[in-house]
Structure 1
Amino acid sequence: MSNPIIPDPRAVQVDAPEIAESEFIESILFENDRVLAVDKPGWLVCHPSKKGPGSSLVGAAKRYLNLEKLHLVSRLDRETSGIVVFAKDRGAARTIQMGVEARKVTKSYFAVLHGELAESQVIENRIVPDKTSEVRVKMRALPTERDPKIRTHFHPLRTFNGQTLCKVVTDGGRKHQIRVHAQHMGHPLVGEKLYGSDETLYLEFCREGWTERLTHALSFHRQALHCGDWSMENNLELPALVASLPSDMAQLVGEKPSS
């Protein structure tokens, strides 16, 4: 389709609560004079918003640090929770970026997938923009082309109610990589609006927010994806970072949330 009707997700204004400064402080996983790492909630956009500092993770971080300039070096989609890393200066940002490019950064996620995944799967199908979609930012996996630089490893941990809790490890960092590869595998994320069976759910959510149709169609209010581990070989005194499964996903999989 030549004229996608959703040009940019940052232009879509979906009502979401703001993050209070006290809540942001509680989310801090690590901080030194060069780096700040936080556990992002699954309803907060990373990029700055015109609605004030509490309406985005970058805004909340700048407010907390009282800084005009901050480098977002490890970001997540709006509905993905977990570890996000900021660099406080350009040199630290460059060090982390070089680590990413040299594949010295290791990340793993928890994901809840539709269906029962019996054994580990590795998906390495090439990811390209989906030019057939009405959503400009949507990507798709090519069924016959491989790209070993963007492998996604899905490791099932347990199944429940026709769903599978997986540990997911990525090689590379293509946009929406886990979500696209999960859909390609035939096991889309629980709560997925864009890479599920019906992308009109995403369009409706963008226009109208949470509706009765979404309530009936989706068993979870967001994509069930959480970045739980992040580490890098570095000289920034940055330790391996761990973010426990958040309360909403813990409840989904029947685990007791971490205190």
Structure 2
Amino acid sequence: MTSETFIVNEKIGRLDKTIVSYLPQHSRSQISEWIKQELVTVNGQLKKPKYTPVIGDEVTVTIPDPVVIDLKPENIPLDIIYEDDDLLVVNKPKGMVVHPSVGHENGTLVNALMYHTPLSQINGVFRPGIVHRIDKDTSGLLMVAKNDKAHEALSADLKEKKNLREYIALVHGEFKENSGTIKAPIGRSSSDRKKQAVVPNGREAVTHFKVLKRYVGYTLLSVKLETGRTHQIRVHMAYIGHPVAGDPLYGPKKTLPGNGQYLHAHTLGLTQPTSGKELIFEAPLPQDFNDVLADLEPYSNQTSED
């Protein structure tokens, strides 16, 4: 265990919120858990999360050693769209986490991939082979590197914006325009560490969209990523007032059946690292997405003419 101590020099609010402002590398939920575990003291005394520190308080946080995750291959079925000696393209189902972390030690895409094939090691122990990610409740295509040379090449192409990444998204509201581009920088939200947000000092983020079909109260979009920020489509759509349907983090409360956002990584284009051949893959919408569109069909309006 290690500990971190600081002196409060401004009134911020309750104890857990105050600690997060001084130790932003830790989440508020994690801090709250440590307070409950009596790992936090104020002037040498235990306090509850709702305690409000005052200027001059000395706060000490004892940080427990990280939990060791035993990463094991698991015989989990994979929907492999393409495979060669350098890489795989996998159609990830909605609800599957990409790589292990505390709280998601098994049942991830990485666990399944390790059972199937050797993977690159550039991303370390817990993210072998993972060149890019999609959220747990986003379905669709991911490229996975089998060796370090392929990983470096695929990552370089991503950085240079050479890959084609198109998503299908069902969003709230009815678009007046047929297509457009959202250019708004994204960074961590100052009010909720679980969220990303459009912020002045964020990283460049560019999202292109085109209307595929209009429904009463909803619009089906084709969305193309120019950059790849965390939650980019979800943040940008919420920012312009059209959050992704079913999104539990950035959207309104549950309005459609199912769990999680209706967002699918539909098309993926990449350059094969060894041959240099341009490859393009598509994955059909999952059944739950199709079911929702079928339910909305009687209320469809018109398609884009662009």
The TM tier, using the shorter chain, reads: 0.7 to 0.9
Tell me the equivalent position of 1:123. Answer: 182
Distance 2:87 2:202 in 1: 36
Tell me the equivalent position of 2:83. Answer: 31
Q: Is the 8 A contact 1:7 1:137 kept in 2?
A: no
Once the two structures are superposed, residues 205-248 of structure 1 have per-residue CA deviations (whole angstroms, 9 ceiling, x without a partner) of xxxxxxxxx5xx55441111100111123444562111111111
Q: 1:30 to 1:54 in 2, by over 3 A?
A: farther
* TM-score with structure 2 setting the length: 0.65
Find out whether 1:5 has 2:43 as its counterpart.
no
Find out whether 1:249 has 2:306 as its counterpart.
no
Distance 1:67 1:245 in 2: 27
Tell me the equivalent position of 1:168. Answer: 223
SS at structure 1 position matched to 2:158? helix
SS at structure 1 position matched to 2:251? coil
Q: 1:57 to 1:146 in 2, by over 3 A?
A: closer
SS at structure 2 position matched to 1:250? helix
Distance 2:236 2:184 in 1: 8
How does 1:61-210 map onto structure 2 within 5 Å? 61-65=113-117, 69=121, 70-119=128-177, 120-133=179-192, 136-142=193-199, 149-197=204-252
Distance 2:101 2:116 in 1: 16
Instruction: Give the total of aligned pairs.
Output: 222
Distance 2:241 2:258 in 1: 18
* TM-score with structure 1 setting the length: 0.76
Distance 2:173 2:274 in 1: 41
Q: Is the 8 A contact 2:162 2:270 kept in 1?
A: yes
Once the two structures are superposed, residues 37-88 of structure 1 have per-residue CA deviations (whole angstroms, 9 ceiling, x without a partner) of 1100010000125789861001001012266953101211111100011101
Higher helix share: 1
Q: Is the 8 A contact 2:163 2:268 kept in 1?
A: yes
CA RMSD of aligned residues (A): 2.9
Find out whether 1:228 has 2:283 as its counterpart.
no
Q: Which has the larger radius of gyration?
A: 2
Amino acid at match of 1:130: S
SS at structure 1 position matched to 2:28? coil
Distance 2:197 2:119 in 1: 38
Distance 1:156 1:242 in 2: 19
1:34 shift after superposition: 1.1
Once the two structures are superposed, residues 103-159 of structure 1 have per-residue CA deviations (whole angstroms, 9 ceiling, x without a partner) of 1111000000011112223111111211112xx2311113x7897x42111211112
Tell me the equivalent position of 1:46. Answer: 98
Distance 1:183 1:33 in 2: 40
Q: Is the 8 A contact 2:91 2:142 kept in 1?
A: yes
Distance 1:67 1:154 in 2: 34
Higher mean alpha-carbon deviation, 39-48 vs 156-165, is at: 156-165
Q: Is the 8 A contact 1:115 1:163 kept in 2?
A: yes
Q: Is the 8 A contact 2:86 2:146 kept in 1?
A: yes
Greater relative CO (CA pairs within 8 A, separation 6+) = 1
> Percent identity among equivalent residues?
30
Amino acid at match of 1:173: G
Q: 1:175 to 1:52 in 2, by over 3 A?
A: closer
Distance 1:123 1:50 in 2: 34
